[in-house]
Amino acid sequence: MPPLLEIRGLRLAAGDRILVDGLDLEVGPGEAVGLLGPSGSGKSLTAAAVLGLLPPGVERRSGSIRFAGRELTGLDERSLRPFRGGRIALVFQEAAAAFNPVLRVGAQVAEVIEIHRPEIPRRERREEVLRLLAEVGLDEPERVARSFPHELSGGMLQRCLIAQALAGEPELLLADEPTTALDVTVQARILDLVSSLRARRGLSLLWISHDLGVLARICDRLVVIRDGRRVEEGTVEEVLHRPRAEATRELIAAVPRLRRGGSGGPE
């Protein structure tokens, strides 16, 4: 089966500085792939490049990014619109920063439905918002929908952000370290939630993190990068127990539970 997301020879640069250097990466239908690397290794830039959201000063010098067989590089803003927040959804690290602080959460989820699922009549959007909030495990979806972002806890807001990502009925979820700011108990619950959503919806997942323990818990396969270059790729079992690259061994050594041969989940 052909990959859903296929990145070939991606090269990103800021002036004379190469930030991502010839990266190859695939995510198959229904597969969860972890992109692992230390801070500054080019992980988040790779995700941004998929949706044409590179920050000012960073440009793609070469490489191909294909989604479901469609080349995304070179598409104009209008052509990218069905992919951004629709077929491909991005979940950010800081949920509070992703929401408009002066709009109620329900209205912001409804906006995604309006843009990417216009077949849903306006009068039915509210029910769809409540269904999505309930799907991500929020016990009082009506209260949450009426709330402003600052009125919700970090864990609740992260669930709202996942609901917003699901509102466009995506095939691929790009998760850019979305649990890093959460305490370990809430983090574990969010990881379990994403795993169940992936199984129920048949989602493909690209999870970006510097935390091998998190990736070992949620992913099928890992791609390890350092200084913008891929240094290793394999199943979680292969990378965890038979690492070939020194960069991978250093990351494993930084997680005590993995050194002891544990399950790799968050402590």
Q: Which pLDDT score is estimated for 46?
A: 95
d(CA 78, CA 184): 40
In order of 36, 71, 226, 227, the CA distances from 21 in angstroms are: 15, 19, 10, 8
Closest CA to 160 of 92, 207, 206: 92
Strand partners, 21: 11
pLDDT tens-digit map of 60-90: 999 999 999 999 998 999 999 999 999 999 9
CATH top-level class of 1-87+211-267? alpha beta
- Compute the distance between CA of residue 224 and CA of residue 159 in angstroms, rounded to an integer: 27
pLDDT of residue 259: 44
What is residue 245's three-state secondary structure?
A: coil
**Conformational region of residue 49, where left means phi above 0, alpha means psi within -120 to 50, and beta covers everything else:** alpha
Q: Which residues contact 25 (CB under 8 A, 6 or more apart)?
A: 5, 6, 7, 10, 33, 35, 46, 206, 223, 230
Neighbours of 29 (CB within 10 A): 15
- pLDDT < 70 positions in the chain: 256-267
Global pTM reads 0.89
- Backbone torsion region of residue 140, taken as left when φ is above 0, otherwise alpha when ψ lies between -120 and 50, otherwise beta: beta
Domain range annotation of the chain: 1-87+211-267
pLDDT of residue 256: 60
Number of Cα atoms under 13 Å in the Cβ half of residue 251:
31
